[in-house]
Chains A and B, each alone.
Chain A
Amino acid sequence: DQQVKQNSPSLSVQEGRISILNCDYTNSMFDYFLWYKKYPAEGPTFLISISSIKDKNEDGRFTVFLNKSAKHLSLHIVPSQPGDSAVYFCAAKLANAGKSTFGDGTTLTVKP
């Protein structure tokens, strides 16, 4: 049973437009959600996170929205830049748990 799902394996957007990456989860007990970005031949790097008590968190061009009733979160990147082209992983954590559960990832391509 995959508890965190990213249903779009890939997304292509034009430079300057908005990128929206989606993530769904099944465990309503998750307390914390994180987005990581991964370039080829590198480890994932942390991008932005959101606590389950909030519905929005913003950091520069990156905004994460959380809809607890729908068990859905999304990452908005605006404006998108070619350097944003990478694989984006959504992850979820339970409070006081030692592990994060990752989605399968979405490959974002931003075209110049």
Chain B
Amino acid sequence: DTEVTQTPKHLVMGMTNKKSLKCEQHMGHRAMYWYKQKAKKPPELMFVYSYEKLSINESVPSRFSPECPNSSLLNLHLHALQPEDSALYLCASGLRAGSINEQFFGPGTRLTVL
């Protein structure tokens, strides 16, 4: 299984809602990532988890709250988002956070904040 899966594919939420994005991989990777991508822009790193511990937080606002319950799962909890947070949210995994190996990306969740 060389796939990273993400649910849901699409999400529309109001500014007062609480929702969660989910990501799963079964490749035994110990690094997992959340990226945000706006149209015609590169993926922008948000968080890195290494061995289930948060190792990098790229100064992301607290309305985004990551969680890594185990080595296969990564969640992103959303609360009180703003319309400018609308974007494609990509999850990725890699062998180890500090390795030179490539990352495997999921298909993304298209988030719209109304």
Interfacial residues, chain A to chain B (CB-CB below 8 A): 9, 31-32, 34, 36, 41-46, 49, 51, 89, 93, 95-100, 102-105
Contacts and interface: CB of A to CB of B under 8 A. Distances in A.
Contacts of A102: 42-43
Given A89-B42, A98-B50, A98-B55, A43 B100 contact: no
Contacts, number: 55
B31, B43, B48, B108, most chain A CB atoms within 10 A: B43
Contacts of B105: 36, 43-45
Contacts of A95: 98, 100
B102 A43 contact: no
A98 to B, nearest CB: 4
Interface string B90-112: 10100001101011111110000
A47 B23 CA distance: 22
